[in-house]
Amino acid sequence: MGYDVHPLVSGRRLVLGGVEIPHDKGLDGHSDADALLHAIVDAVLGALGERDIGTFFPNTDPQWKNVASTVFLREAARQVARCHGRIINVDATVIAQEPKIGPHIGAMKAQIAEALNIRTNQIGIKATTNEMLGFVGRGEGIAAMAVASIELPEDHGQS
């Protein structure tokens, strides 16, 4: 399971699911701040029993400044392969008052599938608003949640 949230600010492009979405604000963060991909990375790493995205890609490290989050997603997939595992599926929800996410879901699934080396039908992406409640409802930020299932060999992690 993974969760991420970033504030919306002027002067940044909005990238979600590896796709640039036209909007007057973008997500603020050290990398491209793609909250959806960050949640998926955490879900995949967590399914492996690993720590979070910040352990692999600390926001204090200048090499990750403005980096596309697909780099992080590819590394999560590499970690699964290193353990001789395979990703079964990923299911995610984007929580945003605006912009509308639905028209971009197909492109997001294609980007995620390519980075994880899985098929688009192994990826679910849903979008919802926060019904005008809280920081998301006020348009101050975007949040994302994700769950990943992976299959590992029976001897994974045994000494």
Amino acid 157: pLDDT: 63
In a domain, 35, yes or no: yes
Amino acid 67: pLDDT: 87
Amino acid 155: pLDDT: 75
In a domain, 12, yes or no: yes
Number of independent structural domains in the chain: 1
* CA distance linking residue 70 with residue 41, whole number of Å: 9
Distance of CA 84 to the CA centre of its chain: 22
CATH number of the domain that 54 lies in? 3.30.1330.50
In a domain, 158, yes or no: no
* CA distance linking residue 148 with residue 57, whole number of Å: 19
In a domain, 115, yes or no: yes
Amino acid 159: pLDDT: 47
* CA distance linking residue 114 with residue 122, whole number of Å: 12
- Domain residue limits at 47: 2-151
In a domain, 53, yes or no: yes
Q: What averages of pLDDT result for each successive group of 10 residues across the chain (159 residues)?
A: 97 96 94 96 95 83 82 95 96 96 97 97 96 93 98 75
CA-based end-to-end distance of the chain: 26
In a domain, 30, yes or no: yes
In a domain, 40, yes or no: yes
Query: What is the enclosing helix (H) or strand (E) of 55?
Result: helix 53-56
* CA distance linking residue 46 with residue 156, whole number of Å: 14
In a domain, 156, yes or no: no
